[in-house]
A = this chain, B = another copy of it.
């Protein structure tokens, strides 16, 4: 016991000494000896060369603009607390993107920064009818020089306003509830449910939503369909109930609206009484309803074989290789430089994209996102969404770290300003590098192998507009290639499927649940790409690869003529729409009119359908009744136009409200003006702009339930350097390895019998000072690895956070917005065009 006691004392006595020993032992056993602390390198501080003149208004600026307009434009009689669109109020303030003619001198010639203005949307009543009216306010910051002006110059309709037919979405829904209450007995009988006015979202209740159709004599006709709310899953659009009611909404006065025909199971009833009476008919054919259940769950928590191990995951132990100026939202990555901005209608845009110091694009951004349905029921038959109306930027919700983007991604917030309030969308943009599962380039030679990793940079936002989630990527590759990619997920907007033979759902989709049809639709998302390939003066050509029969002198006399192929260049000499060519047989290339590479070839960028599924399509429907004039951009895959300050975009979000009389007419923009420049008879300076479409013909099938899958819903257009540089620029950026298989030779073709005389080979790759792992491998017959770009030199201790981010850091507590319900804007529900 004495020993024990003494040992205990000694232990205490020597504790201070031993702490050092233990600390040393622990330290020496820590991974730092053999591995590196995760994320230990600091990000570089970094400043953009210019200010981001396209940046969205700050909260301060927005408030300043609101205050200024309220004080200044007293004639508008604006209210701060609108109750309906009968009240005049400022609906939206946002940055009025400056004209390129004003920014170019600032960006490229060090002229002063251009004036900053706000674009203002005011909900305003004329003679009792509500309109959305565009104004511009500026310059900012507000000073005595600032003023409020009608914003007309960017709309080729000559108007700065759009009539707003949605006098009150709240009242429409109220009307729908009353209508539904009047047929509670019918819905109870056919659907086993009724509306719950006290709690519209009662999962056991019903909802009704309208699809509107404007009619030539003025006003609207609405078709309402019943839905189960799907509050357990958010799957409302998978829960149509197959009862439809027609509402005569031709009157501006909602009190005068009347419920007319009813539609059920392919049969039209003149009114609810006939419908009710029909139920008692012994020949009345009932169809099952769509009941919410686990089949709409977006996840399955069950235990299944093989998923008891987590999947591979990408890590970035040393931090990013891009540089980010968060204030100016400027990114620099291996020669690429660009500014990021956002807008409430269109989400992320990029400006002033350069590669290795040369201009590539002035602007790249979404213009409009359209989904057009077809069907033989009153809902799907006329359904169409313009998601920029609901707001591709407004609906950029917080990204899920480690899932939507890698755990190591950088995040940016976005903001939008509506009705005097600033909405912050936290972590709604992510930026990250990723190493593909495949190389950028490789070659196996006789005595060596070289492999270069394909690490790319992505800027991503996800717009969830109601039922559907659009993941939008801007992707940059080391060779100068840019890609714009959309992947769709979320719930499809399905149709009610009637099981009898009076309908013909196979014409419009597949049956995918009890009473559910997959409802075919076209997605067409329009993008603007203002290419400035090595400067603003560009030409577009179609370079065709064509079959030809030719006679060659060296072929004589054995082969009098030869069936072969050759290149034929067709200049695009006027504004036009192009489709991706049959058999991918043409390259669409935008060339610099002035700059050539070292070999005398024009510097160019090729525009091509990219790595989405097949070729990107355009709209199937010809001269759509629903769309009217609002989406003529959707009629071809690609458009080449003159760039003009007065035509800054292909579409306006408010066109959704007036598709037949749009504030911007795309067909007036793409009106065959000459694209030949330099000739004395034209004032065109050669600055062209391209509009292109992404999207899909979506024929959903059972695998789209519950959610559309992104690996097959992707759509992409790429801009690929074509003789832009003198050789592949990625060689100076890429990380990779050269394996020296034997001695010092490189050699010819792998598998070849030549062995050659090593002493005579050009040992260009054998510099002794290269970083390599060649210990024991220097001799003949051993493999030596020589690396270019940085490699991992030690193991890494990866913290859990880098594998599985702690979701308690997720900022958003709900994705609910609770204002301006009456406008019907911003929720992505059925309204139709």
With A622-B547, A725-B703, A735-B310: A244-B554 Cβ-Cβ less than 8 Å: yes
| Contact assessment for A307 and B321 in the assembled complex, using a CB-CB cutoff below 8 Å | yes
| Contact assessment for B555 and A307 in the assembled complex, using a CB-CB cutoff below 8 Å | no
| Contact assessment for B703 and A721 in the assembled complex, using a CB-CB cutoff below 8 Å | yes
A741 at the interface (CB under 8 A from B): yes
Contact stretch, chosen from A655-663, A665-673, A704-712: A704-712
| Contact assessment for A462 and B442 in the assembled complex, using a CB-CB cutoff below 8 Å | yes
With A711-B440, A751-B828, A781-B813: A299-B796 Cβ-Cβ less than 8 Å: no
Task: Name the CB-closest residue of B to A297.
Answer: B764
Cα(A626)–Cα(B229), bound, Å: 65
Residues of B within 8 A of A400 (CB): 442, 449, 451, 737, 739
A80 at the interface (CB under 8 A from B): no
A412 at the interface (CB under 8 A from B): no
Cα(A785)–Cα(B807), bound, Å: 6
| Contact assessment for B306 and A464 in the assembled complex, using a CB-CB cutoff below 8 Å | no
A466 at the interface (CB under 8 A from B): yes
Which of the residues B322, B487, B790 comes within 8 Å of A310, measured between beta carbons?
B790
Residues of B within 8 A of A110 (CB): none
A732 at the interface (CB under 8 A from B): yes
With A381-B564, A552-B376: A620-B471 Cβ-Cβ less than 8 Å: no
A276 at the interface (CB under 8 A from B): no
Cα(A288)–Cα(B20), bound, Å: 71
| Contact assessment for B620 and A545 in the assembled complex, using a CB-CB cutoff below 8 Å | yes
With A443-B464, A710-B440: A800-B792 Cβ-Cβ less than 8 Å: yes
A277 at the interface (CB under 8 A from B): no
Cα(A786)–Cα(B816), bound, Å: 21
Contact stretch, chosen from A22-30, A346-354, A530-538, A679-687: A22-30
Cα(A200)–Cα(B611), bound, Å: 43
| Contact assessment for B614 and A608 in the assembled complex, using a CB-CB cutoff below 8 Å | yes
Cα(A334)–Cα(B311), bound, Å: 12
A729 at the interface (CB under 8 A from B): yes
Task: Name the CB-closest residue of B to A697.
Answer: B545
What size tier do the contact residues of chain A reach? 35 or more
Q: Write 26 A-B pairs (CB below 8 A) sorted by A numbering.
A: A35-B799, A201-B755, A202-B756, A268-B553, A300-B732, A306-B321, A307-B788, A307-B789, A310-B735, A312-B314, A382-B555, A397-B751, A403-B737, A441-B490, A442-B707, A466-B750, A466-B751, A506-B567, A507-B566, A545-B699, A567-B699, A611-B613, A702-B724, A703-B720, A706-B728, A785-B808
| Contact assessment for A403 and B807 in the assembled complex, using a CB-CB cutoff below 8 Å | no
A119 at the interface (CB under 8 A from B): no
Which of the residues B313, B439, B564, B609 comes within 8 Å of A315, measured between beta carbons?
B313
| Contact assessment for B782 and A813 in the assembled complex, using a CB-CB cutoff below 8 Å | yes
A328 at the interface (CB under 8 A from B): no
Which of the residues B435, B785, B829 comes within 8 Å of A311, measured between beta carbons?
B435
Which of the residues B35, B312, B445, B625 comes within 8 Å of A559, measured between beta carbons?
B625
| Contact assessment for B406 and A437 in the assembled complex, using a CB-CB cutoff below 8 Å | yes
Cα(A805)–Cα(B701), bound, Å: 43
A723 at the interface (CB under 8 A from B): yes
Contact stretch, chosen from A132-140, A144-152, A581-589: A581-589
A309 at the interface (CB under 8 A from B): yes
Residues of B within 8 A of A449 (CB): 397-398, 400, 815
A158 at the interface (CB under 8 A from B): no
With A319-B309, A613-B611, A753-B816: A301-B741 Cβ-Cβ less than 8 Å: no
